Amino acid sequence: MGILSSLNFGIIEIFFSLSAIYISYYYYKYFTRPNPLPGPFPLPFIGNLYLFNINDFSKFLKEGHEKYGELFEIYFAGDRQICVGNLNVIDKLFNPSSKTNFKFRSLYKPGLDEFGVSGYGVVFNHDYNSWQFNRQFFTQVMLTPSFSQLSLSQSQDFLKVIINYLNDISDKNITFDLRKWMFSFMTDTLLDLFTGKRGISTNIYYSELINKKTIDDEYVELLMKYVDGYTFHLFFGTFAKYIPIFKGIAKNHINNRDKFWNYINNIIIEQKKIIENSPKDQLRDDMITLLLTANTDLDINVSKSRVKDLDPKYQRPLNDKELLINLSEAIGAGVDTIANLFTFLLYYIIKNPEVITKIRAEVIDILGKDLRPIKVEDIDKFKYIEAVIKESSRLSSLTPLIDRYNHVSDEIAGYNWPANTHFIINASGTHSDSKFWENPEKFDPERFIKSSSINNPKAFILFGGGIRICPGRKLAMILLKVLTALLVYKFDFELVKDDPIKIKFAIFNQPDEVNIRIKKREIF
């Protein structure tokens, strides 16, 4: 016992000695950091995590902007992050030129290696040449006129089915979770647009509602867990192998990733066979087809020559892994963002019924009382609906922060910063600043229509900006405008509980527990 006691005591001594060394080094680095800025005092190991609930990160950023101003610093564990709310500085960070010093959304993250996505796709790809290559293909698809037309026609076809479900739910006076409904609907819509495969997620949720029993939707579960796994490995994957409780979480995410990838890979294999056995003019203009044929003899995009300006090793079509990650990111990010934003939007317009009246008036003005089908040229005419979308995002930012890193040293806000400094564009701060907005706490879509000396649209960030602006922004606006125009015109909505909206944060802000009832409108 004496030997064991001595051994245990020695381990404890070593632990406390190492902790003391780390803490001393941590604060030495903190007090000798370049360009010290105001900000909350960090603690070793956790930084400023003690100050905020991860599910209310927007509130933390807003309060920091109000207390410390347009430039302050925070710490996430050991990572120093420079929070920026100055519009001139944001303009520099959002420079759209390929020569910008702020090309990176993230640096190398070992956790993404563990998840198998490091160096692929467009979301957190730290390899600039690889990102540029993948981004070019992605942008080509999103800007192809035929893809926009397909998006518009398919979303309206899907809505016809959904409206039948909603009519029945209205007749039965059923309460349902709006975000879960929208997540299911957008999963089916984007799965079809991106892969040509019809989903049944909405049907499953509808069946669950009317039958009052739970039915598993394997694909939605795989997708939701895949997004969670991406987030987990981005933030914690580096440490997962060293922390017992994290090992099990990481293993479950890897198993789910393999199932999700296998699902997408099977779709890719099927689509390759379709392409091989179909004439070019009979191919459907969905994302998977456009990506598989990009930079080949079947490519319909006249802009494909731009890919040839890249490094010679990227003058080729996408390989299977690149295609897999691009499709996975497109579905995961697209479903999450559009479903979340529409849920926020509906919440705010229910709370502001005069806005609903104006939406319906615009719909009648453009489509008539009988609601003819929406055409591509109609999309830009929905000015008020676009203002409602923007105002909903201003009050509940999908992305409360946007990351940028400088790959070389640069001057920002009068300070010289070394390469690989982590900057955060504080969208939550700029969206709520009274210097930029009149009555910033008020839901007022008119601020995006009427000119004002106070309201400053430059302080609004919806799809990011600069070289890394969201490539799916055109698709998102098409789907959001179609959803808002048709659903708000046909139904009345009621919140089950008139409580402030709850938010979860996992890369994006997600509305939580928005339970509603709907009622068919009598339209004369």
pLDDT of residue 271: 93
pLDDT band at 476 (very low <50, low <70, confident <90, very high): very high
Q: Two tokens at 239?
A: 């440490």
Q: Which of 463-467, 481-485, 506-510 has the highest mean pLDDT?
A: 481-485
Average pLDDT over every residue of 227-253:
84
Average pLDDT over every residue of 116-137:
88
Q: What is the phi/psi pair of residue 130, to 5°? A: -65, -45
Average pLDDT over every residue of 42-65:
85
- DSSP state, residue 437: S
d(CA 330, CA 187) in angstroms, rounded, equals 11
pLDDT band at 308 (very low <50, low <70, confident <90, very high): low
Closest CA to 265 of 195, 218, 217, 206: 195
Average pLDDT over every residue of 143-157:
90
**Burial profile 464-494: b = 16 or more Cβ within 10 angstroms, e = fewer:** bbbbbebbbebbbbbbbbbbbbbbbbbbebe
Q: Two tokens at 402?
A: 């946007």
d(CA 295, CA 255) in angstroms, rounded, equals 33
Average pLDDT over every residue of 38-58:
85
In the block, which residue shows the tokens 């009427």?
Answer: 450
Supply the pTM of this predicted model.
Answer: 0.91
C-alpha dist (Å) from residue 266 to 65, 88, 115, 132: 47, 47, 20, 27
Average pLDDT over every residue of 116-142:
87
Q: Which residue has the higher pLDDT, 239 or 366?
A: 366
| Cα radius of gyration (the chain) | 25
470 annotated among ligand-binding-site residues: yes
109 C-beta neighbours (distance < 10 Å), count? 18
pLDDT of residue 305: 45
16 DSSP β-pair partners: none
Q: Any long-range contacts for 453-459 (C-beta under 8 Å, 24+ apart)?
A: 456/87, 458/87, 458/91, 459/87, 459/430, 459/431, 459/433
The H or E element containing residue 424 is strand 422-426
Q: What is the DSSP string of 214-249?
A: ----HHHHHHHHHHHHHHHHHHTTTTGGGSHHHHHH
d(CA 506, CA 519) in angstroms, rounded, equals 32
pLDDT band at 302 (very low <50, low <70, confident <90, very high): very low
d(CA 88, CA 86) in angstroms, rounded, equals 6
- Which residue ranges make up each domain of the chain? 46-520
Mean pLDDT of the chain: 88
Q: Where are the alpha helices (H) located in 317-459, listed in sequence order?
A: 320-351, 353-367, 383-395, 427-431
pLDDT of residue 66: 95
Q: How deeply is 391 buried, as exposed, middle or buried, from its count of CB atoms within 10 A (0-12, 13-18, 19+)?
A: buried
Average pLDDT over every residue of 68-97:
93
> Is residue 452 classed as helix, strand or coil in its secondary structure?
coil
Q: What is the phi/psi pair of residue 75, to 5°? A: -130, 125
Counted residue by residue, the chain has a size of 524
Q: How confident is the model over 395-445, as pLDDT tens digits?
A: 998 888 899 999 999 999 999 999 999 999 999 999 999 999 999 999 999
d(CA 288, CA 294) in angstroms, rounded, equals 10
**Burial profile 427-450: b = 16 or more Cβ within 10 angstroms, e = fewer:** bbbbbbbeebbeebeebbbebbee
Q: What is the phi/psi pair of residue 411, to 5°? A: -95, 130
Q: Which of 21-35, 167-181, 503-517 has the lowest mean pLDDT?
A: 503-517
State yes or no: pLDDT of 3 exceeds 60. no
Q: Which CATH superfamily is domain 46-520 in?
A: Cytochrome P450 (1.10.630.10)
Closest CA to 142 of 512, 505, 469: 469
d(CA 506, CA 333) in angstroms, rounded, equals 11
pLDDT band at 306 (very low <50, low <70, confident <90, very high): low
pLDDT of residue 366: 97
